[in-house]
Chain A
Amino acid sequence: MGLLNRLDDPYEGGGIVLGKIEELLNWGRSKSDWYLHFGLACCAIEFMAMNASHFDFMRFGTIPRTSPRQADFIMVTGTVTFKMAERIKILYEQMAEPKYVISVGSCSNSGGPYWEHGYHVLKGVDRIIPVDVYIPGCPPRPEAFEEGMMKLQEKINKQAIFNKRKLLGTE
């Protein structure tokens, strides 16, 4: 996402050392993702289940942070009304790079049940912030959250830092 995704050729002049360092850095970023939870509606309830003992989101190395400055990705779960859209945008801008976005549920993917007649609902959070992973469902199963998290980790692991490398499978 952002500056880190450069869609050029892999390993132009870096070689194996930079490749290994890059792998290490990506490993650190992908395995320790602190999240800012933006819970808005019913999907946030499922999010609680996902955080609780049976599904244990912390297994993926995620720690909830309340401050956007310390968060690595923002999880938008639920109906993004126009009123909250402003707040999401502000919070997203306050986050420190590298930052990611996971959009959870039909509502934040594309407005969900309100996409046609919702006078008050943003038709997809990707209209204001760049979304990395879309998790479908209304609400998604807790496992689906974790699957989305794994997709995000995969994506981070493919990011280029020193070398320009193709983002496999994301385009």
Chain B
Amino acid sequence: MESTNFIWDLMGKNLWSVVAVISLPLIFVLIYALVAILAELKVSAWIQERLGPMRTGPWGILQPIAEVIKLLQKEDITPTAASKILFNLAPYVIFTGAYAAFAVIPFSEAYAPANINVGLFYIFAVGSFSAIGIVMGGWASNNKYSLMGAMRSVSQVISYEIPAAVAVLAVVVLTSSMNMMEISRMQEGGFWNWYIFGGPGGWTKIFMIPFTLTLAIIYFIASLAETNRLPFDIPEGESELVAGFHTEYSGMKFAMFFFAEYANMFVVAAVVTTIFLGGWTSPFGSFLAGAGWGAFWFILKSMFVVFLQIWIRWTLPRFRVDQLMYIGWKVLLPISLVCFIAISFFSLLNLG
């Protein structure tokens, strides 16, 4: 297997390089989370014709830093009636789940922390970690709102994992690979080769475009639900459950939930980018292609998807629980199955 990690090339395989490989995504997550928090505040403000934070540094750009400093100083409350071990473990479990998914994300031609053959499968596996963490946190809090939020979250994650998995499977059928690096590489050569536009192939692929486009949208919607973002944020629906599963968390433990949410957003954005938007490939063929530019394109595309998530969050209201289940089981699932079957059929005919 050719090298897909420039740190191995640079430093060889020793303890320090392992630490470097592990910590690079962590540094990225922290910086990204600060940017995303600011983006969230600012985009929400702009959508409402407000200004957002303005008085923390120039144009409020230091706002996330102030928030982190503040959260570090907050008292860390563990309720007396809570199950202490689980309560204290839950934020870390959630963050671990979000962070572990970064292991297989191909940031660039030359950097994927681990280039394993079942990358997509792995992401789905560790993605469910967050559900475990949410249940742990919700149940251990010994608070009825937390528990209800946790239960809702799990039902939501389970029902939306299926259409998401079907959408991803369709791409796997096209690529016959679960390796995210491989999938990215197949889409090289311009944006018309991205799987959102049917992937590489002759003119006959235009029959596939409606289906892949639909699948991309379905995966995006399902990923919103998996990360508990609005309009699917019923697990933390403020109007019904005080703050959902993290009602009882304060201080740094809440910050872990906060970071995990944003990290999860990036993970699903990275999956959308990798399987539908061409990963690290340049949208203009060989123009601005290369390992460094690859990272640039990848982060740009992912941030665009994150921006889409924020945009949707501040546009749509929250669904009711029954509407959520209706969308999951009666809309997304059948449509994604139809698309999946169509795409399998096409790829059997070798149209793509």
Contacts and interface: CB of A to CB of B under 8 A. Distances in A.
> So, do A and B actually touch in the complex, CB under 8 Å?
yes
Interface of A: 24-25, 27-29, 31-33, 52-53, 56, 58-61, 63, 65-67, 69-70, 72, 96-98
Nearest to B243: A67
Nearest to A27: B66
Q: Which interface residue of B68, B70, B247 has the most chain A CB atoms within 10 A?
A: B70
Interface stretch (B6-14, B183-191, B249-257): B249-257
A96 B2 CA distance: 52
A142 to B, nearest CB: 13
A53 B50 CA distance: 5
B290 interface: no
Interface string B43-55: 0010011111111
Contacts of B68: 28
Given A31-B62, A98-B73, 5 more contacts: A27-B69, A56-B51, A66-B242, A66-B243, A69-B77
28 contacts: A28-B65, A28-B66, A28-B70, A29-B70, A31-B55, A31-B62, A32-B63, A32-B66, A32-B70, A53-B48, A56-B50, A56-B51, A58-B50, A58-B53, A61-B53, A66-B242, A66-B243, A67-B242, A67-B248, A70-B243, A70-B246, A70-B249, A70-B254, A72-B70, A72-B74, A96-B75, A97-B75, A98-B74
Given A28-B65, A31-B63, A96 B45 contact: no
A69 B69 contact: no
Contacts of B249: 69-70
B242 A29 contact: no
Secondary structure call for the B interface: loop
Contacts of A24: 69
B70 A69 contact: no
Given A53-B48, A70-B250, A59 B55 contact: yes
Contacts of B60: 59, 61
A61 B73 contact: no
A25 B73 contact: yes
Contacts of B66: 27-28, 31-32, 61
Interface in B76-93: 76-77
Given A28-B66, A31-B56, A67 B247 contact: yes
B266 to A, nearest CB: 21
Size bracket of the B interface: 35 or more
Interface in B20-76: 41, 45, 48-56, 60, 62-63, 65-70, 72-76
A84 B50 CA distance: 33
Contacts of B247: 67, 69
A64 B41 CA distance: 12
A24 B73 CA distance: 11
A63 B37 CA distance: 12
A114 B69 CA distance: 41
B140 to A, nearest CB: 14
Contacts of A69: 77, 243, 247-250, 254
Nearest to A62: B53
A53 B247 CA distance: 28
Nearest to A29: B70
Contact of B52 (A33, A58, A67, A72): A58
Contact of B69 (A28, A52, A63, A72): A28
B73 A67 contact: no
